Amino acid sequence: MPLKQLSHYQVNLHILSPIHVGTGQELDPFSFIIRDNRLFLINLVKWIEEYPEKEALYTMMDSDNFAQVRSFIAERFDLENAILCSIPVDSQQLLKTYKRAVQEKDPSNQVLISPMTRNEVTMDAYIPGSSIKGAIRTAIANQFVQAAGVTSRDSGRGRSNYNEKIFGRISGDPMRWLKLSDVSLKESGTVIVEATEYSVNPDKTLTPKGHMEVAFNLCQTGKLVIYPLRFSMASFSLHGKTIDPEFLVDSLYRFYVPKYEQEYTKFFQSRRAIEIQQGIIPINKVVSGLRTNEALVRIGHFSHVECITLDGVRNPRTRRGRVGTPLPWGTTRTLANGVYPFGWAKLEFVDLEAKPRSQRDWPFSS
């Protein structure tokens, strides 16, 4: 296939709610300390090299008591130039757990924290462009479920037949004509939150989800956090349709806005969700005010099955209950600090014409 000339577009990423794109691993307990409501990533080797009381240090480091070693480091760490970066902590539960772990030297308090992807040189957290591109890919694919003859047999764990039916063989995947940059979060930074489960069933025993580093966002700060995104694209054809920026924006709008509405209606309209309703008012205003050059998108961890699978063929696999039948899916959400849904952002294509969208009945007050 001949090479195409990519066109460059001015695109802004507006971060609306906490976004977590992680490494799949928790922070090493000896890689951080927490003080004054901030988590400090530290260079432990540098601190050890410059610690003055070497004999006491080596005696402690030889101990197989993990909790005591952690407490020793947390209480004595004082080398400013051994701090790699600092992250504010917005979780009272984490602060309490860490304090208890250090003071009581309790090995059961592991203080697990999932970090964002991070540039190892600058130590700046970032959202990979591949995560944004994956969300765009899902929205585009959803437009061609019927045209490509995709069925529920093509989806589910371990199955990716729908990708080939919609986009063709991987060697000729037309999505290669779409290029997105990573988004460095240096300017506004990140924050540590607690991930908690929320269920449509108020009597359900909720599962702890741990602590996450997330991008600063509109919900938590009250300020719109906007990042420019390097976005390049060459139009291509898919099942008789031209895929260009206008088609892309329309696909995103058609896929993610209904997901946001459905999630609000199913989980957040009840009286016991008043705090959540108040917390997501800023997102509601953005969603109800989207213009024709803007689209909603969901990125990263805890995006939930509805936003990462295709309409009409969704076939999630869940663990089996006591009688051996699959448990129902889509009955819980994971919220940051028990209030904010993860992953919501807006893409604004500055170069496209911005017109008001047709009015629709929103499940929330705009």
Q: In Å, how far are 23, 84, 365 from 301, measured between CA atoms?
A: 11, 25, 27
**Pick from 80, 111, 142: which residue ends a domain?**
111
Q: What is the pLDDT confidence band of residue 58, given thresholds at 50, 70 and 90?
A: confident
User: How far is residue 286's CA from residue 210's CA, in Å, rounded to a whole number?
Assistant: 29
Single-letter amino acid, residue 24? G
Answer yes or no: do 216 and 284 share one domain: yes
The residue among 233, 216, 237, 234 whose CA lies nearest residue 225 is 216
In this prediction, residue 331 has a pLDDT band, given cuts at 50, 70 and 90, of confident
pLDDT score of 328: 65
Domain-located, residue 167: no
CA–CA distance, 341 with 52 (Å, rounded to integer): 46
Q: pLDDT tens-digit profile of 246-305?
A: 999 999 999 999 999 999 999 999 999 999 999 999 999 999 999 999 999 999 999 999
- Torsion (CA) 165, 181, 135, 241 in degrees, nearest 10: -50
The pLDDT of residue 129 is 97
> Is residue 14 domain-shared with residue 143, that is, in the same domain?
yes
* 210 lies in some domain: yes
Same domain, 13 and 49: no
Give the confidence band of 104 by pLDDT, cuts at 50, 70, 90. confident
Is 266 exposed, middle or buried (CB count within 10 Å of its CB: 0-12, 13-18, 19+)? middle
The CB-based long-range contact list for 162-167 (8 Å cut-off, 24+ gap) reads: 162/310, 162/313, 166/141, 166/238, 166/239, 167/141, 167/238
Mean pLDDT for all residues in the chain: 91
264 and 300 belong to one structural domain: yes
**Residues 119-144: what's their mean pLDDT?**
96
Q: 333 and 237, same structural domain? A: yes
Q: Are both 148 and 266 inside the same structural domain? A: yes
Please write the tens of the pLDDT for every residue from 147-185: 999 887 776 544 557 888 999 988 889 999 999 999 999
Percent of the chain topping pLDDT 70? 93
Same domain, 239 and 137: yes
pLDDT at 324: 59
**What is the SS3 assignment for 196?**
strand
**Mean pLDDT value of segment 231-242:** 96
> 101 is written with which tokens?
């772990």
Specify the 3-state DSSP secondary structure of 88: strand
pLDDT tens-digit map of 5-30:
999 999 999 999 999 999 999 999 99
Q: What is the mean pLDDT of residues 32-56?
A: 93
Which residue range forms the structural domain that includes residue 141? 7-23+125-156+185-349
pLDDT grade for 318, boundaries at 50, 70 and 90: low
The predicted-structure confidence for 206-232, as pLDDT tens digits, reads as follows 888 999 999 999 999 999 889 999 999
CA–CA gap between residue 215 and residue 297 (Å, rounded): 15
Q: Order of strands, edge to edge, in the sheet holding 332-336?
A: 113-114, 211-215, 190-199, 332-336, 340-341
- 8 Å CB contact between 198 and 250: no
Split into its structural domains, the chain has a count of 2
Of 111, 139, 164, at which residue does a domain stop? 111
| In a domain? residue 227 | yes
Q: Is 45 found in the same domain as 136?
A: no
Length of the chain: 366
Q: What is the structure's pLDDT at 79?
A: 83
Q: What is the pLDDT of residue 2?
A: 59
| CB of 314 closer than 8 Å to CB of 304 | no
Answer yes or no: is 2 within a domain: no
Average confidence (pLDDT) over 193-210? 90
SS3 31: coil
In a domain, 355, yes or no: no
Residues 195 and 309 in one domain: yes
Catalogue the E-assigned strands of the chain. 7-15, 32-35, 38-42, 83-88, 113-114, 126-127, 178-180, 183-184, 190-199, 211-215, 225-233, 236-238, 241-243, 294-298, 332-336, 340-341, 344-349
Same domain, residue pair 44 and 19: no
Domain check: are 106 and 147 in the same one?
Answer: no
Give the model's pLDDT for residue 288: 96
pLDDT at 321: 56
- Determine the Cα–Cα distance for residues 80 and 208; give it in Å rounded to an integer: 34
Q: Using CA atoms, how far apart are residues 295 and 292, in angstroms rounded to an integer?
A: 8
pLDDT surpassing 90 at residue 238: yes
Please check the confidence at residue 322 and state whether its pLDDT lies above 70: no
In a domain, 92, yes or no: yes
Distance, CA of 213 to CA of 211 (rounded, Å): 7
In a domain, 331, yes or no: yes
DSSP codes joined into one string, 333-348: EEEETTTEES-EEEEE
The answer, yes or no, to whether residue 109 has pLDDT greater than 80, is no
- What mean pLDDT do residues 353-364 have? 91
pLDDT, position 349: 97
14 contacts 28 by C-beta, under 8 angstroms? no
4-24 burial string, b = 16+ CB within 10 Å, else e?
Answer: eeeeebebbbbbbbbbbbbee
The reply to whether 74 and 142 lie within a common domain is no
Residue 66 in any domain: the answer is: yes
Closest CA to 95 of 109, 80, 115: 109
